């Protein structure tokens, strides 16, 4: 049994958010390490004036790919951090199916990225902060565990949420000044 509780309650060591109440799964030992790596990618996005979101794709405790949000940098509407990281992982592995992958992303995925996660059959998603505008892992809708869908993905939320929300807030403040 390699799954452990981060603390007493289900993954609630970090800032509680409503998405927790949909969380059926527990954090595992290295989740914080991988999310820290995703956070570093988010920092890089902010340096490029892109909204700070970062993602890492991990298989068997190895980071296959990592990326930050690049919508402004690449002028691409597909330039979300997790979309880039997932696409790169598939290219690196030579397989569009990522059935053993865990995706770490600092913010809850949008409809596009949730769709990509379903299409690539990822196993597990760990995200930092919820997106109440377009989050599709439980905040607005839960596409990743939707009745009738062929594929279902384990979801854990709230990892490093204080640090991530501080970064996002700083970005907003900086962009207004
Ligand atoms: Zn997205």
Q: Is 75 exposed, middle or buried (0-12, 13-18, 19+ CB in 10 A)?
A: exposed
d(CA 147, ligand 1 centre) in Å: 22
From the candidates 32, 62, 70, 82, give the one annotated as an active-site residue. 82
**What integer pLDDT is reported at residue 28 of this predicted model?**
74
Smallest CA-to-CA distance from 135 within 161, 113, 102 is with: 113
Q: Write out the two tokens for 19.
A: 């998405």
Ligand 1 centre to CA of 1 (Å) is 32
Q: Name the residue among 133, 157, 136, 110 with its Cα closest to residue 16.
A: 157
**Would you state the pLDDT for residue 4?**
33
pLDDT of residue 24: 53
| Known catalytic membership, residue 91 | no
* Ligand 1 mean position, distance from CA 80 (Å): 5
How confident is the model at residue 176, as a pLDDT?
77
Tell me the C-alpha distance between 56 and 58, whole Å.
6
Around ion ligand 1, residues with a beta carbon closer than 5 Å are 80, 110, 112-113
Going from the Cα of 77 to the center of ligand 1, the distance in angstroms, rounded, reads 9
pLDDT in tens, 66-112: 999 999 999 999 999 999 999 999 999 999 999 999 999 999 999 99
Supply the pLDDT for residue 86: 98
Confidence at residue 7, expressed as pLDDT on a 0 to 100 scale? 32
Mark the ranges of the chain whose per-residue pLDDT is less than 50.
1-22
68 Cα to the center of ligand 1, angstroms: 11
């Amino acid at each position: 049994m390699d799954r452990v509780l981060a603390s007493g309650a289900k993954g609630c060591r970090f800032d509680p958010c409503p998405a927790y109440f949909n969380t059926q799964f527990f954090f595992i030992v290295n989740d914080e390490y991988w999310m820290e790596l995703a956070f570093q990618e988010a920092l890089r996005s902010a340096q490029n004036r892109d909204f700070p979101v970062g993602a890492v794709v991990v298989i068997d405790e190895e980071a296959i790919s990592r990326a930050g949000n690049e919508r402004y940098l690449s002028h691409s509407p597909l330039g979300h951090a997790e979309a880039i990281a997932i696409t790169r992982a598939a290219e690196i592995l030579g397989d569009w199916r990522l059935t053993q992958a865990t995706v770490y992303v600092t913010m809850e995925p949008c409809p596009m990225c949730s769709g990509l996660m379903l299409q690539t059959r990822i196993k597990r998603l760990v995200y930092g902060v919820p997106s109440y505008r377009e989050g599709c892992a439980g905040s607005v809708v839960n596409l990743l565990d939707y009745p009738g869908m062929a594929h279902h993905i384990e979801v854990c939320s709230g990892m490093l949420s204080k640090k991530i929300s501080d970064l996002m807030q700083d970005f907003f403040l900086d962009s207004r000044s």
